[in-house]
Structure 1
Amino acid sequence: MNNSLKGLSDNEVIESRQRYGTNFIKEAEPLSFWQHFLEGFQDPMIKILCVISVIMLIMYYFGYSDWYEPVGTIIAVILVNFVTAKTGTDNDKAYKNLKDSQKKDTAKIIRNGKLNEIVVDDIVVGDIILLQNGDKILADGILVDGKISVDNSSLNGEAEECKKTAAPEGYELIKEITGDTFVDKHSLFRNSVVINGEGYMEVRAVGEKTMAGKMAEDMKEKEPDSPLQVKLSKLAHQISNFGYVGSIVIALAYLAHYIVLAGGISAYLNNDLGTILVGIVNAIAIAITIIVCAVPEGLPLVIALVLMQNTGKLYKANVLVRKAIGIETAGSLNILFSDKTGTITKGKLEVVKVLDGNGNNIELDKTGYVLKNLYKSIANNSASEFDANGNVIGGNMTDKALLNFINNNEYQKNKLNVINKQEFNSTNKFSQISYMENGQLITEYKGAPEVLLAHAKKYMTNDGKILPLNLDKLNAKIDVLANNAMRVLCFGYSKQPLKENIINDDTIITSLVAIRDDVRPEAKDAIKEVQNAGIQVVMITGDRKETAVAIAKDAGLYCEQNSDIALTSKELNNMSDNEIKQILPKLKVIARALPTDKSRMVKICQSVNLVVGMTGDGTNDAPALKAADVGFAMGSGTDVAKEASKLVILDDNFNSIKNAIWYGRTLYNNILKFCKMQLTINVAAVIVSAICPFIGIEAPLKVTHLLWINLCMDALASLMFAGEPALRKYMKAKPRKRDENIVSKEMATQIGVMGVWLTLISILWFKLPFVATFFNTENEFYTGFFCMFVFAFMVNAFNVRTKSLNVFEHIKENPAFIKIWSLIMIIQIVLVSIGGIVGEIFSCTSFNLSGWIMVTLFALTMYPVDMIRKLLFNK
Structure 2
Amino acid sequence: MNLNGLNDQQVEKSRQKYGSNKLPEPKQKTWFNFFTDGLKDKITIILIMMAGVFFALAFLGVESFSEPVIILAVLAIVSGINVRTNLSIQKSNNSLRAKTAVRYCNVIRNGSVVKINKDDIVVGDIICLEMGQEIFADGYIVEGEIAVSNAAINGETKECKKHYISGFKYPEEITTDHYTDETCVFAGTTVMSGEAKMLVQTVGINTVNGDTLVKMQTLEPTKTALDIALDKLADFISKWGTVAAFGGFLIATATGILEVGFREYFSGDVLQIIRTIAENISVALTIIVAAVPEGLPMIVKFVTKMNVKTMEKANILTKNPSKIPELAYVNYVCTDKTGTLTTGVMTPKEIITGDMKSQKINKDNLPEILKENIALTSGSLFDEKGKITGGNSIDRAMLSLLNQSEFNSILTQNPKSKKQPFNSQFKYSAFSTSCEFGDTSYYKGAPEKILSNCKYRLENGKIVEMTDEDRINILSEIYDLTTKAMRCIAFAYNMEALEENVIPEDLVFTAVIGVQDPVRKEVPDAVKTAKEAGITVVEITGDCIETAVAVAQEAGIYEKGDMALTDAEFSGMTDEEIKDIIPRLRVIARCSPTTKLRLITLAQELGYSTAMTGDGTNDAPALTKSDVGFAMNSGTDVAKEAGDIILVDDNFASIVKGVKLGRTFMHNILMFLNFQLPINYSLLAMNFLYPVFLTGSFLTSALILIINIIMDSLNSLSFGGEPPKDEYMKEQPLKKGEGLFVNGSKKHIAINACIFSLAFGLMIFSPIKHLFATEAAGLSARFALLCFMAVLNGFTLRTDSRNLFKGLSKNKLFYRIAIGIFVGTIALVQFGGSVLHTASLNLTQWLAVTALSTIVLLADFIRKTMKKRRNK
TM over 0.5: yes
Please state whether the residue corresponding to 1:130 is helix, strand or coil. strand
Alignment partner of 2:283 out of 279, 283, 286 = 286
- 1:842 alignment partner AA: L
Alignment partner of 1:842 out of 836, 847, 859 = 836
Cα deviation, residue 13, structure 1: 7.5
Cα deviation, residue 345, structure 1: 3.5
- Does the 8 Å CA contact 1:485/1:550 hold for their aligned counterparts? yes
- Does the 8 Å CA contact 2:139/2:185 hold for their aligned counterparts? yes
Cα deviation, residue 363, structure 1: 3.4
Q: What per-residue deviation string (whole Å, max 9, x for no partner) do you get for residues 613-670 of structure 1? A: 2222222223333343322222222222222222221111111111111101111001
- Does the 8 Å CA contact 2:156/2:592 hold for their aligned counterparts? no
- Does the 8 Å CA contact 1:338/1:539 hold for their aligned counterparts? yes
Distance in 1, matches of 2:431 and 2:113, equals 35
Partner of residue 760, structure 1: 758
Q: What per-residue deviation string (whole Å, max 9, x for no partner) do you get for residues 62-83 of structure 1? A: 2211101012112222221221
**1:61 to 2:59 alignment:** yes
Taking structure 2 as the reference length, the TM-score comes to 0.87
Distance in 1, matches of 2:411 and 2:274, equals 107
- Residue 597 and residue 840 in structure 1: after superposition, are their counterparts in 2 closer, same or farther (change >3 A)? farther
Cα deviation, residue 215, structure 1: 2.6
Partner of residue 91, structure 1: 89
Give ranges in structure 2 of 5+ residues lacking alignment.
none
Query: Which range moved further: 666-675 or 337-346?
Result: 337-346
- Does the 8 Å CA contact 1:9/1:111 hold for their aligned counterparts? yes
Distance in 2, matches of 1:586 and 1:339, equals 18
Within 5 Å, which residues of 2 pair with 1:708-719? 708-719=706-717
**1:26 to 2:20 alignment:** no
Partner of residue 853, structure 2: 859
Q: What per-residue deviation string (whole Å, max 9, x for no partner) do you get for residues 496-542 of structure 1? A: x56546779694x5542112444434334323332332233344445
Alignment partner of 1:801 out of 795, 798, 802 = 798
Q: What per-residue deviation string (whole Å, max 9, x for no partner) do you get for residues 656-690 of structure 1? A: 11111110111100111111111111111111212
Please state whether the residue corresponding to 1:802 is helix, strand or coil. coil
- Residue 97 and residue 270 in structure 1: after superposition, are their counterparts in 2 closer, same or farther (change >3 A)? closer
Query: Which range moved further: 344-353 or 789-798?
Result: 344-353
- 1:76 alignment partner AA: V
**1:252 to 2:250 alignment:** yes
The root-mean-square deviation of aligned C-alpha atoms, in Å, is 4.1
- 2:664 alignment partner AA: T
Partner of residue 346, structure 2: 349
- Residue 146 and residue 731 in structure 1: after superposition, are their counterparts in 2 closer, same or farther (change >3 A)? same
- Does the 8 Å CA contact 1:150/1:161 hold for their aligned counterparts? yes
Partner of residue 398, structure 2: 402
Distance in 2, matches of 1:192 and 1:238, equals 51
Alignment partner of 1:816 out of 813, 827, 841 = 813
Within 5 Å, which residues of 2 pair with 1:485-504? 486-491=486-491, 497=495, 500=498
Cα deviation, residue 53, structure 1: 1.6
- Residue 198 and residue 470 in structure 1: after superposition, are their counterparts in 2 closer, same or farther (change >3 A)? closer
- 1:867 alignment partner AA: F
- Does the 8 Å CA contact 2:47/2:71 hold for their aligned counterparts? yes
Taking structure 1 as the reference length, the TM-score comes to 0.86
Please state whether the residue corresponding to 2:360 is helix, strand or coil. coil
Alignment partner of 1:145 out of 140, 143, 158 = 143
Query: Which range moved further: 686-695 or 672-681?
Result: 686-695
- Residue 102 and residue 336 in structure 1: after superposition, are their counterparts in 2 closer, same or farther (change >3 A)? closer
Cα deviation, residue 458, structure 1: 5.3
Cα deviation, residue 38, structure 1: 0.3
Q: What per-residue deviation string (whole Å, max 9, x for no partner) do you get for residues 433-458 of structure 1? A: 7899xx99999764443434653555
Please state whether the residue corresponding to 2:751 is helix, strand or coil. helix
Cα deviation, residue 727, structure 1: 1.3
Please state whether the residue corresponding to 1:742 is helix, strand or coil. coil
Q: What per-residue deviation string (whole Å, max 9, x for no partner) do you get for residues 175-224 of structure 1? A: 3447x946x65332213455765432012333333221233255233221
- Residue 164 and residue 300 in structure 1: after superposition, are their counterparts in 2 closer, same or farther (change >3 A)? same
Cα deviation, residue 575, structure 1: 3.9
Distance in 1, matches of 2:332 and 2:542, equals 20
Identical pairs, percent: 33
Query: Which range moved further: 855-864 or 395-404?
Result: 395-404
Please state whether the residue corresponding to 1:631 is helix, strand or coil. strand
- Residue 615 and residue 319 in structure 1: after superposition, are their counterparts in 2 closer, same or farther (change >3 A)? same
Cα deviation, residue 760, structure 1: 1.0
- Residue 762 and residue 697 in structure 1: after superposition, are their counterparts in 2 closer, same or farther (change >3 A)? farther
Cα deviation, residue 371, structure 1: 8.0
Partner of residue 321, structure 2: 324
Q: What per-residue deviation string (whole Å, max 9, x for no partner) do you get for residues 673-726 of structure 1? A: 111111111111111212222222632312111111211223422331111121
- Residue 456 and residue 831 in structure 1: after superposition, are their counterparts in 2 closer, same or farther (change >3 A)? farther
Within 5 Å, which residues of 2 pair with 1:165-564? 165-170=163-168, 175-177=174-176, 181=179, 186-194=183-191, 198-219=195-216, 220-262=218-260, 280-357=277-354, 360-364=357-361, 378=374, 382-404=378-400, 406=401, 408=403, 418-419=413-414, 423=419, 426=423, 427=426, 429=428, 431=430, 446-450=444-448, 451-452=450-451, 454-455=453-454, 460=459, 470-482=470-482, 486-491=486-491, 497=495, 500=498, 507=508, 511-543=511-543, 548=548, 551-559=551-559, 561-562=561-562, 564=563
- 2:752 alignment partner AA: M
Alignment partner of 1:684 out of 679, 682, 685 = 682
Count of aligned residue pairs for this structure pair: 857
Distance in 1, matches of 2:427 and 2:125, equals 36
Q: What per-residue deviation string (whole Å, max 9, x for no partner) do you get for residues 25-54 of structure 1? A: 333202211011101122111122122222
Cα deviation, residue 308, structure 1: 0.7
Q: What per-residue deviation string (whole Å, max 9, x for no partner) do you get for residues 238-276 of structure 1? A: 11112111111232233333344447x678668998997
Within 5 Å, which residues of 2 pair with 1:146-165? 146-148=144-146, 155=153, 164-165=162-163
Q: What per-residue deviation string (whole Å, max 9, x for no partner) do you get for residues 571-615 of structure 1? A: 548745x66555544444455555555445545555555433222
Distance in 1, matches of 2:33 and 2:608, equals 30
- Residue 229 and residue 621 in structure 1: after superposition, are their counterparts in 2 closer, same or farther (change >3 A)? same
- Residue 270 and residue 533 in structure 1: after superposition, are their counterparts in 2 closer, same or farther (change >3 A)? same
Query: Which range moved further: 541-550 or 228-237?
Result: 541-550
- Does the 8 Å CA contact 2:351/2:512 hold for their aligned counterparts? yes
Please state whether the residue corresponding to 2:561 is helix, strand or coil. helix
- Residue 473 and residue 123 in structure 1: after superposition, are their counterparts in 2 closer, same or farther (change >3 A)? closer
**1:868 to 2:862 alignment:** yes
Cα deviation, residue 801, structure 1: 0.9
**1:35 to 2:36 alignment:** no
Distance in 2, matches of 1:378 and 1:166, equals 29
- Residue 848 and residue 435 in structure 1: after superposition, are their counterparts in 2 closer, same or farther (change >3 A)? farther
Please state whether the residue corresponding to 2:612 is helix, strand or coil. strand
- Does the 8 Å CA contact 1:420/1:498 hold for their aligned counterparts? no
- Does the 8 Å CA contact 2:453/2:505 hold for their aligned counterparts? no
